[in-house]
Structure 1
């Protein structure tokens, strides 16, 4: 009887000791895990962009409002004097412009200043240049020589052959005058030709337009 009680006591004691041992191991395992977590290096925080570097989303344009057109560069200002309009009713001004264009072989400008019949000729000269059959005759001879020697500082003298024809002297010799012939067409003077009348005959023409 005593032996049975002793054996039962040993069994109960063993069970209690086993349970306690299991609890101790469980506590030790949790403590170990906690220590390992504390000793692990912390992960670096993810990088975030500063507010200044984060691009803002473009504002949506309302459907009923079209987008603004791109800004255009303002045109360059014209040089002083370049915007002055040629007075086509002033015989001296027109002659001055014709002589400058002729001397520079600017046949396009000379075409715009000419009579309707000459406009086509000078426009063709501007287009074809030396290939035009009349290029050599217009850029040589006494007319071209007189224009080439002309200086814009020389005075111009105007005489009239009726109300619709003006002769403007830009150079002269002892016996002859070199003149630009202008025709009055559509309320403006137009370039017709370069002539070389007798100087006395030219000076005898009226100074005022009839």
Structure 2
């Protein structure tokens, strides 16, 4: 019980410190931090970069670590391969209506791999890693 409480408190404190940094962070700088933390499999560093919905879920996963039933799912599959191969943004960020941004981190065939963000007020948060069609992605505006 102490371990779980300690982990939750540590994650919460890390989140509070990082949250101040993410208030002024851009999707591009957050993508760099996400790639680094993801490659290290560091959920504590990933948590503050996520949007509220994902942060709540990942906090539960982080508290149990590898014992959580979906922990492995986070770090396997095509999304994991795309992030593990990424070194940073590979092109211009694209925007969709409703406060969404997509930062490209790689491509394969007709697919672009992106870190997708949502915006709550002035704060960006990671929603997912997606693989939209390259033509559809390129057609999106480069300004919000």
Could you state the TM-score of these two structures normalised by the residue count of structure 1? 0.55
Q: Aligned partners of 2:38 and 2:126: how far apart in 1?
A: 11
Structure 2 counterpart of 1:136: 72
Secondary structure (helix, strand or coil) at the match of 2:124 reads: strand
| 2:45 aligned partner | 109
Q: Where in structure 2 are the equivalents of 1:86-101 lying within 5 Å?
A: 88-101=24-37
**Preserved CA contact (<8 Å) 1:92 1:156:** no
Query: Once the 2 structures are TM-superposed, how far is the Cα of residue 155 of structure 1 from its aligned partner?
Result: 3.2
Checking the alignment, whether the CA contact within 8 Å between 1:167 and 1:182 is kept in structure 2 is yes
- Say whether the 8 Å CA contact 2:35–2:84 is kept in structure 1: no
C-alpha distance in 2 between matches for 1:155 and 1:175: 15
User: 1-side partners of 2:64 and 2:91: how far apart?
Assistant: 32
**Aligned-pair distance for 1:156?**
4.2
Q: Which has the higher contact order (CA 8 A, sep 6+)?
A: 2
| 8 Å Cα contact 1:157/1:170 also seen in 2 | no
Would you say 1:149 and 2:85 are equivalent positions? yes
Asked if the contact 1:160/1:206 (under 8 Å) is kept, the reply is yes
Which has the higher mean CA deviation after the structures are superposed, 154-163 or 104-113? 154-163
**What is the 5 A alignment of 1:48-87?**
85=21
Distance 1:88 1:110, change over 3 A: farther
**Number of residue pairs matched by the alignment:** 124
Matches within 5 A, 1:166-205: 166-205=101-140
More strand by share: 2
Is the CA contact (8 Å cut-off) linking 2:111 and 2:134 kept in structure 1?
yes
Contact map agreement 1:106 1:126 (CA 8 A) in 2: no
> Which residue of the partner structure matches residue 118 of structure 1?
54
Q: Which has more radius of gyration?
A: 1
Structure 2's unaligned 5+ residue stretches are 1-20
Q: Which runs of 5+ in 1 are unaligned?
A: 1-84
Aligned-partner Cα distance in 1 for 2:118–2:78: 22
Offset at 1:126? Answer: 2.0
